[in-house]
Structure 1
Amino acid sequence: MAFEVSYNLENEQQFWDELDDIVSTRCHEHELIDNALRSYLNVTTSYKSEYLQTDYSLAKCSYRLLQGDLFNAHKEYVRRQIVYCLLQEDDNPTLHIVAAFLLYDGRNNDVTFEMMQAEGTFPRLVELIQTTAVKEDPGLHQMLLELMYESSRIQQLSWEDLMAVDDAFVLFLLEIIEGVSDDADDPYHYPVIRVLLVLNEQYLVASTTQHSNGNGGITNRVIKALSTFGMTYKTFGCNLILLLNRESETSLQLLILKVLYLLFGNPATAEYFYTNDLHVLIDVILRNLIDLPSDSPAANALRHTYLRVLHPILANSQISKPPHYKRDEIHKLLHLLVTSGNHFAPVDETTLRLVKRCTSVPWLQPSPIIGGPEQTIGNGQKELARRTLGMSVQGGGESSTSVLEVAAHTEKPGVQTPSRVKEAQH
């Protein structure tokens, strides 16, 4: 958008007053709407370095437009013009303003992110995030990463969108994680990691639908990068465990678990994690499993995903080799999950099936689950039980059904994970 008006504002109050005047403009023609949007972008970019330096001020600026008459009378048109601006502009301040608007609008209105995808903004975001000018502007870079994450986690990306991601882009993101400070609260940790998480989920979903839509196979470039260069990018794995340990949003927990599921199910990455970090991961999984209440469908879905991840960890990671970490504690937890008469409700069939799969791991034999704690079952009987339950897994891999089940588990953004501890505190 070309700017046509210059401003000479003397203080911050004049800036906000001018902005209020612009967003309150009542327009009835597209040309007038365009002029008002140009004025909005002109005044915000001209004074961005003075009055829009913080995330709070950028959010305040975006909500001024979102709550004004200009937007509310012409929502679809204004959104589309802002999307076009993202596609066409290369000026950093302008990109920052429009990205902030789309992020805050999209978080409350899925239609905004759907419009972005329809207009082809995902490949544009991939391009912008890698440009030198954007990388040198940390605030803008972080905003674009957050916009990519938020817009990608509420809808399935197209085959063309995924084709825009190459190995270099994934390695670029992993390099950022390796390069940031050891501070877990570094602002770059979350946005970059979450983009990798949502890309992995998109690849996982695409792998379950590629045969039905006529497109060829799509390489999961996140898993490919870690399979090839895992020793170089260990910080990503450390951060996954840290996030899983403290994350209370179900959708993000599921994203992390989907990466873990693929990493531990892949022979090239099954031992990607440091042994000490792997022990922490086992502790986190055991704690979270015991903390999930029994009377919640959301908790059941999450419990099933944790158990699906636990099996390849037990079967394929370093923990499968002596000395086996917390063997007795794992036995007790699995036994509790399928034993009635405790604080759990009657066990659902899926939980029972997944627990039996976990206890089929050789180093956990003899199992206290199948046949009861007093009974030892021969190998032939165990194999028959596994096949009867549909769990015969050859070569350490997981069945296509399991992949579909893991890919299908989703939750709306913002939904908090049910917790026994939190319920007891209230």
Structure 2
Amino acid sequence: MAFEVSYNLENEQQFWDELDDIVSTRCHGHEHELIDNALRSFLNVTTNYKSEYLQTDRSVAECVYRLLQGDLFNAHKEYVRRQIVYCLLQEDDNPTLHIVAAFLLFDGRNNENDVTFEMMQAEGVFPRLVELIRTPSVQEDTRLHQMLLELMYESSRIQRLSWEDLMSVDDTFVLYLLEIIEGISDDVDDPYHYPVIRVLLVLNEQYLVASTTQQAKGRAGVTNRIIKALSSHGTTYKIFGCNLILLLNRESETSLQLLILKVLYLLFGNPTTAEYFYTNDLHVLIDVILRNLVDLPADSPAVNALRHTYLRVLYPILSNSQISKPPHYKRGRIYEILHVLVNSGNHFAPVDETTQRLVTRCIAVPWLQPASPDSSSVSDSNGHASATQSPISNGPEHVIGNGQKELARRTLGMSVQSGGESSTSVLEVAAHTEKPGVQTPSRGRGMGR
């Protein structure tokens, strides 16, 4: 989209006045040439004066929202969107990329029908975003880089990526994102944390869904490059895991909790990453999971799906992580909470069959067994039950163990045979989703705490 108009604006007020004039342009019928000229003028003004009047994220947002609310866009939404998408696909100028990426991000977030992100998907924008994010000149512009990461996340969590989209992500790209997290300050409130981590979360989600879909059709699965990278380089990229726990601890949006839990599910189900987390961080993770399980209110389909996912993550933690080795962390407390979850005599609503089955599977982990049938609530001051373990049958646990090995191979993109509890769990975990923005109900918030 070439620039044809030049401006000489003397102050910030003239800048905003000029923008208001441009976005108020009225083009009747299908006068595409007039629309194009107006869009060129908009990009010309915003990019030429970006360093003077658009120095903050808030000012860029204000600029974009004036276009979104103006007559030019509202009379020709589809055409303007498509022209902006084409601009993102073709332009290499950083200021221009910043404005068009901001437009697509804010327009997509505001659009309940997801037409913006669907258009981006149809026009093949995802590989272009991968290309731009790894471009050195873009990486030097932190604000633009962050904007493109946010655009990738928002557009990718709404709909499924194509095979070509997934193939545009290679090991180098994933390792680059993990390196960014390692280099960021330890402050999880750093605005750079969220965009990078959430891109990795949504990529894992896309790999999980694509793999289970391919497996259901009897085809070779897709290599999950997130799990692959952490399998090979986990000791180098520990901060990513620390941040997952911090985010799960404070995240109230259900969709993001599910994205985090799906990564954890695959990490603990894979023998090469089952002990990826530091032991102290693992203890914090267990505390967070137990608290959230107790905090979830009475049953509803959405709450049950989240509760089931927490329980599916808890099982491989208990079975495969370093907590399965002495000294066991809060053995008595874990057993007690699991018992409460399936005890209909307390304040919980009647338990659904899936919750009962998943809790029973967790309780059956050998090291979690109490010393005797009536010692489930007995523990020492550290929450540890008696060291004596009761024997359990090897039948179901043996099948589940094999399933975990199959899951590990599947996440690395290897062909395996489906079947068993593990295969069902993978499919159910992959299927659990929630619309962006929906908050997780909380028993604690309901009591006003």
Asked if TM exceeds 0.5, the reply is yes
Aligned partner of 1:409 in structure 2 is 432
Identity %: 81
CA distance in 2, matches of 1:64, 1:150: 21
- Deviation readout 1:250-292 (Å, 9 max, x if unpaired): 1001000000000000000000000000000001001111100
Question: Residues 307-386 of structure 1: matches in 2 within 5 Å?
Answer: 307-366=311-370, 379-380=392-393, 383=395, 386=396
CA distance in 1, matches of 2:19, 2:71: 12
1:393 aligns with 2:400: yes
CA distance in 2, matches of 1:324, 1:287: 18
Aligned partner of 1:103 in structure 2 is 105
The 8 Å contact of residues 159 and 215 in structure 1, kept in 2 or not, is answered as: no
- Deviation readout 1:384-403 (Å, 9 max, x if unpaired): xx59xxx9413361611100
Distance 1:52 1:204, change over 3 A: same
Equivalent of 1:293, from 288, 297, 301? 297
Aligned partner of 1:10 in structure 2 is 10
The 8 Å contact of residues 317 and 323 in structure 2, kept in 1 or not, is answered as: yes
Shift of 1:377: 7.8
Equivalent of 2:264, from 260, 263, 272? 260
Structure 2 unaligned residues grouped into runs of 5+: 379-388, 408-421
Return the letter of the residue paired with 2:253.
E
The 8 Å contact of residues 153 and 202 in structure 2, kept in 1 or not, is answered as: yes
CA distance in 2, matches of 1:125, 1:221: 17
CA distance in 2, matches of 1:370, 1:191: 49
- Deviation readout 1:69-109 (Å, 9 max, x if unpaired): 11111111100000000000000000000000000000122
Give 3-state SS (helix, strand or coil) of 1:242's partner. Answer: helix
1:187 aligns with 2:200: no
Equivalent of 1:92, from 91, 94, 99? 94
Distance 1:58 1:368, change over 3 A: farther
Shift of 1:371: 12
Question: Residues 43-62 of structure 1: matches in 2 within 5 Å?
Answer: 43-62=45-64
1:120 aligns with 2:124: yes
The 8 Å contact of residues 356 and 369 in structure 1, kept in 2 or not, is answered as: no
Distance 1:118 1:336, change over 3 A: same
The 8 Å contact of residues 311 and 358 in structure 2, kept in 1 or not, is answered as: yes
Give 3-state SS (helix, strand or coil) of 1:165's partner. Answer: coil
What CA RMSD, in Å, does the superposition of the two structures yield over aligned residues?
Answer: 2.1
CA distance in 2, matches of 1:213, 1:51: 54
Return the letter of the residue paired with 2:443.
R
Distance 1:369 1:291, change over 3 A: farther
Question: Residues 27-38 of structure 1: matches in 2 within 5 Å?
Answer: 27-28=27-28, 29-38=31-40
Aligned partner of 2:229 in structure 1 is 225
Give 3-state SS (helix, strand or coil) of 1:379's partner. Answer: coil
Shift of 1:295: 3.4
Shift of 1:365: 1.6
The 8 Å contact of residues 332 and 377 in structure 2, kept in 1 or not, is answered as: no
Return the letter of the residue paired with 1:92.
N
Distance 1:10 1:142, change over 3 A: same
Shift of 1:51: 1.1
1:234 aligns with 2:266: no
Shift of 1:58: 1.0
Distance 1:7 1:368, change over 3 A: farther
CA distance in 2, matches of 1:275, 1:215: 37
Aligned partner of 2:443 in structure 1 is 420
Aligned partner of 1:74 in structure 2 is 76
Distance 1:362 1:50, change over 3 A: same
Structure 1 unaligned residues grouped into runs of 5+: none
The 8 Å contact of residues 403 and 423 in structure 2, kept in 1 or not, is answered as: no
Return the letter of the residue paired with 1:18.
E
Give 3-state SS (helix, strand or coil) of 2:400's partner. Answer: coil
CA distance in 2, matches of 1:212, 1:71: 43
Q: Which has the higher contact order (CA 8 A, sep 6+)?
A: 2
Tell me the TM-score normalized by structure 2: 0.90
CA distance in 2, matches of 1:237, 1:345: 34
The 8 Å contact of residues 371 and 377 in structure 1, kept in 2 or not, is answered as: no
The 8 Å contact of residues 268 and 321 in structure 2, kept in 1 or not, is answered as: yes
> How many residues are matched?
419
Give 3-state SS (helix, strand or coil) of 2:293's partner. Answer: helix
CA distance in 2, matches of 1:237, 1:85: 37
Give 3-state SS (helix, strand or coil) of 1:262's partner. Answer: helix
Give 3-state SS (helix, strand or coil) of 2:402's partner. Answer: coil
Shift of 1:372: 8.6
CA distance in 1, matches of 2:195, 2:172: 18
CA distance in 2, matches of 1:293, 1:214: 39
Return the letter of the residue paired with 2:392.
N
